[in-house]
Chain A
Amino acid sequence: MNNLDKYNQVFCETFSVNSDVLGTNFSNDTIENWDSVLQLSLVTSIEDAFDVMFEPEEIMDFKSYEKGKVILLKYDVII
């Protein structure tokens, strides 16, 4: 499984969606049930999947599918 597949799988499992809805519009502004529980669940799962640990500001900033890719790049994880 490549990084994009792993990344998508976490989003699909966290938000119970199909991968075809993931993209530039997938964010806490557009997803109704993206609350604090799912945000922390998402971050926890991403950290586990890529063996990283985010800084507090990165956790708070992880509010969209695209933003997550930028944050992971800081850890040399290319999606």
Chain B
Amino acid sequence: MLVSRFKGFKIGALSVAVPSHKIQISDFYESFGKDLVDKFSEMAGVKQIAHTSLKQTASDLGFIAAEKVFESGKAKREDIGVLVFVSQKPDFRIPATSFVLQKRLGLGENVICQDINLACSGFIFGLQTSLSILSNLKGKKALLITADTSYKTMSPQDRTMFMLFGDSGSAVVLEKDDLNREQIFELAFRTNGDKFKSIITPAGAFRNRNLKPIDEVWSDDIVRNDYNTHMKGMAVFEFSITDVPKLINDFYKYTNTDASSYDNFILHQANLYILKQLSRKCKIPFEKIPLSIDRFGNNSSNSIPLVLSDHFSNADNKTLRLLISGFGAGLSWACGAINIDTQNILPIFISDDFFIE
């Protein structure tokens, strides 16, 4: 377990954007059959997801969320010295999308821009990168944007994934906390590249650049092509209910904490059954795990900000001590202890805007 410790930082603002186009789980009856869809919904906990239009990208959602942060007055554009964009759906092959967002947001030249290609663990890896850079930049703030439009590389015939993933984007401002210099963000990580094929989009980059997109029946009896994302469902499930709780339990030991040490557990919304397993394996009272998967599905790197905005944007002002965890492609998994003032959490904003450069 790798651990990063950051002292004297806080989340100055958190904002989330979601597209308006909602898909009810019953809308999949025609594609997959009522029986299977209902079983899926009961197991995974998904009743509704939101998808972007073909024109709206992950960066558009992240941009909208970031604009809401600036409109709120909780950060100014000139304060931003770090821009990290976490997504698996960039706007272009070159350049990194963080530069596109830098321009669109009008951030000026004094900004370190970085993209991170990660999915469901991405928010916590993004926190680590942002805080690491910020630690060496005096007087600046970091803007961490996580966003994904996962369905865009999925086979519409993939009954294991197509009903599960929703789209959204978030913007989080990280900054020095001059009032509470003892406040600690502690983040823990593990990765396993040996299992990189567990979640993979085989074609579209340079290893398999010229493959023809031929739809075929794969070994799991699902029709897809090499440009579609493929997840080894049971292998990823096993990883989620063994490696992830082990990391959280190791983190408890390392930090000398237990489930009672945290107000809430903001966990990647993989599926409801996995969340129940994590609750059990990490001795977390299930009511301490806020759920958004029912109305938004699995939102990849954006699960954690989405849950925070969904459940705490209208809460009474208080500081929450949270245990967060995300896990997915790589394979990669992470957890951490963070604080957040609920007054810095903005409500979910719905928008279908897109921005063609």
Contacts and interface: CB of A to CB of B under 8 A. Distances in A.
A39 B39 CA distance: 10
Contacts of B35: 16
Contacts, number: 51
Contact of B233 (A37, A44, A56, A59): A37
B357 interface: no
B255 interface: no
B234 A60 contact: yes
A36 interface: yes
B354 interface: no
A44 B43 contact: yes
A41 B40 contact: yes
Interface string B154-181: 0000011000000000000000000000
Interface in A33-52: 33, 35-41, 43-44
A38 to B, nearest CB: 7
A33 B42 CA distance: 18
Given A53-B280, A56-B277, A35 B42 contact: no
Interface string B256-277: 0000000000000001010001
Given A44-B43, A56-B277, A37 B36 contact: yes
A60 B239 CA distance: 11
B160 to A, nearest CB: 5
Contacts of B20: none
Name B's interface SS: helix
Interface residues of A, number: 17
A43 B277 CA distance: 12
Contact of B39 (A14, A32, A56, A60): A14
Contacts of A53: 280
A58 B221 CA distance: 24
B215 interface: no
A41 B242 contact: no
B30 interface: no
Given A14-B39, A16-B35, A40-B273, A35 B238 contact: no
A65 to B, nearest CB: 18
B245 to A, nearest CB: 9
Contacts of B286: none
A44 B221 contact: no
Interface string A41-78: 10110000000010010011000000000000000000
Contacts of A16: 35
B75 interface: no
B252 interface: no
Contacts of A40: 43-44, 237, 271, 273
Contacts of B271: 40
B273 A44 contact: yes
B223 interface: no
Nearest to B245: A56
B220 interface: yes
Given A16-B35, A36-B160, A41 B237 contact: no
A54 to B, nearest CB: 9
Nearest to B35: A16
Contacts of B43: 37, 40-41, 44
A16 B37 CA distance: 13
Given A38-B39, A56-B242, A59-B238, 18 more contacts: A32-B221, A33-B36, A33-B221, A35-B159, A35-B160, A35-B221, A35-B233, A36-B237, A37-B40, A37-B44, A37-B160, A37-B233, A38-B36, A40-B43, A40-B44, A43-B273, A56-B277, A60-B237
29 contacts: A33-B36, A35-B159, A35-B160, A35-B221, A35-B222, A35-B233, A36-B233, A36-B234, A37-B36, A37-B39, A37-B40, A37-B43, A37-B44, A37-B233, A38-B36, A38-B39, A40-B43, A40-B237, A40-B273, A43-B273, A44-B42, A44-B43, A56-B238, A56-B281, A59-B237, A59-B238, A59-B241, A60-B237, A60-B238
A-B CB proximity, top 3 nearest: A36-B233, A41-B39, A56-B241
